[in-house]
Amino acid sequence: MIKSFRRGLFLSLLIFLLPGVSCQTQSFPGLGAPVPDGTTSLISQDQEWFKDSVFYHVWIKAFADSNGDGIGDIPGLTGKLDYLSQDLGITALWLSPHMTNASTLPNLHGYDVTDHYSVDPRFGTNDQMKTFLQEAHKRGIRVIFDLVPNHVSDKHPWFQEALADQNGKRSWFKFRDSRPATGWTGFDRTSDWHRGTGGSYYYGIFWKGMPDLNYRNPEVRKEIAQVARFWLDMGFDGLRIDAVRYLFENEESSGAKDDTTDLPETISFFQDFRKQVIDPYTSLHYPKMMVAENWTDNKAGLKSYLGTLENPSFQMTFDFPSVRMITQKAEDPTNYDLDDWWQDFSTKLTVGWMGTFLSNHDNVISRPATRYEGDKNLQRSAAALQLTGPGTPFIYYGNEIGMEGEAGNDINLRTDFEWDRLEQEQKDRESLFHSYSALITLRKSQPALSRGDFSIVPTAEEALFAFTRQWKNQTLLVIHNLSQDAVSPDSILQAKAIQKQIFGKPGFLPSKDVGVWLLK
């Protein structure tokens, strides 16, 4: 027995030490090399292109309808690329879920996928998606898609086969013989275990219509990796990954939050996903990125999905805590939560990046126009904070024209883009739209605003929020007037070696406005 043990140990060590072989090679068994389509993919030497990007988050169903059926679609979005790139000035798009799904009108959210390899027919076809990617890339716009790895629709063929115990699909999901009497209460405030067939129960943390996949099954891991590769090969530049915190569970436990959320296996999975699925594109000069929907207000929790320098995970995570901090700062200059948050991340974040937003498709917060009761100056101020602050900005469709939407029912945040309102906004040189466009142009022209370090500048004027952004040999001084009155920035300017003002009105800063100066 000792000899047998030693032989097994020797073989294990030999396999571990062979070039290109590690314990991680089993994460996605049999996954091949990427094969990007050169006709639709955007070639680049810059692995961190996302740091310079200004993203626009599109809700496909609500954005642009090309055929008059009342549903936004891919051809409609293609037809609006000039608006996005030339008029507004964004450089990247995040598409809401586009795969074939079981969602119905009026919401049509798409997070309940039924076919991972096809565009939903209501949105278009795979060929139309390829055309869209080509046209976006011609304009220098990168595109990421929404991947939903945690669950599928209960109408997905995989799950239907699992219910019938066919083709080995039963093990792709999580079943048990009885429903736990306590614990396991999910997002819909009912049990996470839902009645299946033959007296069995299946696990679905969000609701019964979206059963969770079993990531302890290597076939599942490989399949989802292949799904990602399929769309990345098609030409997408990256992916936003939905609900990253819930992939693994301790099924035999009490079902407390610690048993269903942020398990070490989940965090390790995404480190493997980065290394084996995403990073191989870099050597082919088609660098891809992934951003996490890591919905938490916990600082350590945000960082955990970024990995380490030695074993990185997501290149970016959405900065959920700063959403309310930015919107509150625009209203109240004496609220210093944002000051401390940005300063802390700028000095302590050693790996990864943050994605900032003012609202999105979920019930995180109401759209700025609703939160600020239509006050355009407050909307401008919040946009200016986001577009001059650290991290990569994501602009939710319609916020640039003051569209309204109250959190509480997510469909309120997914209404049709108001093209008539845009037309009026474009005619008014003092409109919110033109403020957004000017701020985006500023950000794209100044590398320090995209990649620069952030440092608070103390000021005696309580109404002024001042900071520097420094990148390589460029240092910018940014001053926000968050008060209701015009304020002179001279007390700050006189203490700095100013080369010139590059943005904003000279002299007194108007209420809720921003100025930017280049320092010597």
The encoded tokens of residue 130 equal 């390829």
Cis status of the peptide bond prior to 149, with omega within 30 of 0: no
Q: Which domains does the chain have, with CATH numbers?
A: 151-212 (3.90.400.10)
Residue 25 has pLDDT above 60, yes or no: no
Q: pLDDT value at position 18?
A: 33
Asked if residue 175 lies in contact with residue 202, where contact means CB atoms within 8 angstroms, the answer is yes
DSSP per residue, 435-500: HHHHHHHHHHH-HHHHH-EEEEE--S-TTEEEEEEEETTEEEEEEEE-SSS-B--HHHHTTS-EEE
Average pLDDT for 43-59 = 98
Angular region, 307: left φ>0, alpha ψ -120 to 50, beta rest: left
Average pLDDT for 59-78 = 98
Average pLDDT for 419-433 = 98
DSSP per residue, 233-264: HHT--EEEES-GGGS---TTS---HHHHSS-H
Q: Give the H/E segment covering residue 183.
A: none
Average pLDDT for 307-325 = 97
Question: Is the overall model pTM greater than 0.85, yes or no?
Answer: yes
Residue 5 has pLDDT above 60, yes or no: no
Q: Which residue has the tokens 């000021």?
A: 459
Q: pLDDT value at position 136?
A: 99
CA 309, CA 292: separation in Å to the nearest integer?
A: 17
CA 6, CA 470: separation in Å to the nearest integer?
A: 57
Q: pLDDT value at position 241?
A: 99
- Over pLDDT 90: what percentage of the chain? 88
DSSP 96: P
Q: Give the H/E segment covering residue 219.
A: helix 218-234
Q: pLDDT value at position 26?
A: 65
Question: Residues with Cβ < 8 Å from 42, sequence gap 6 or more?
Answer: 137, 142, 235, 237, 286
Residue 35, judged by CB atoms within 10 A of its CB (0-12, 13-18, 19+), counts as exposed
CA 141, CA 519: separation in Å to the nearest integer?
A: 31
Asked if residue 69 lies in contact with residue 121, where contact means CB atoms within 8 angstroms, the answer is no
Question: Residues with Cβ < 8 Å from 305, sequence gap 6 or more?
Answer: 244, 267, 270, 292, 294, 313, 314, 317
Q: pLDDT value at position 347?
A: 86
Catalytically annotated residue among 115, 242, 339, 406: 242
DSSP 508: S
Write down the mean pLDDT value for the chain.
93
Q: Is 115 a catalytic residue?
A: no
Question: Residues with Cβ < 8 Å from 421, sequence gap 6 or more?
Answer: 401, 402, 403
Q: Which residue has the tokens 């040999």?
A: 473
Q: pLDDT value at position 299?
A: 86
Q: Phi and psi dihedrals of 298, rounded to 5?
A: -90, 125
Question: Residues with Cβ < 8 Å from 323, sequence gap 6 or more?
Answer: 356, 357, 358, 359, 364, 365
Q: Residue 229 — very low, low, confident or very high, per pLDDT cuts 50/70/90?
A: very high
Q: Is 461 a catalytic residue?
A: no
Catalytically annotated residue among 154, 212, 293, 425: 293
Average pLDDT for 161-177 = 96
Q: Residue 17 — very low, low, confident or very high, per pLDDT cuts 50/70/90?
A: very low
Average pLDDT for 251-272 = 90
Q: Residue 2 — very low, low, confident or very high, per pLDDT cuts 50/70/90?
A: very low
Q: pLDDT tens, 488-519?
A: 999 999 999 999 999 999 999 999 999 999 99
Q: pLDDT value at position 23?
A: 39
Q: pLDDT value at position 189?
A: 77
Closest CA to 254 of 182, 302, 314, 186: 182
Q: pLDDT tens, 342-372?
A: 999 888 888 999 999 999 999 999 999 999 9
Q: pLDDT value at position 194?
A: 95
Q: pLDDT tens, 196-227?
A: 998 999 999 999 999 999 999 999 999 999 99
Q: pLDDT tens, 454-485?
A: 999 999 999 999 999 999 999 999 999 999 99
Question: Residues with Cβ < 8 Å from 143, sequence gap 6 or more?
Answer: 92, 93, 94, 95, 132, 133, 136, 137, 235, 236, 237
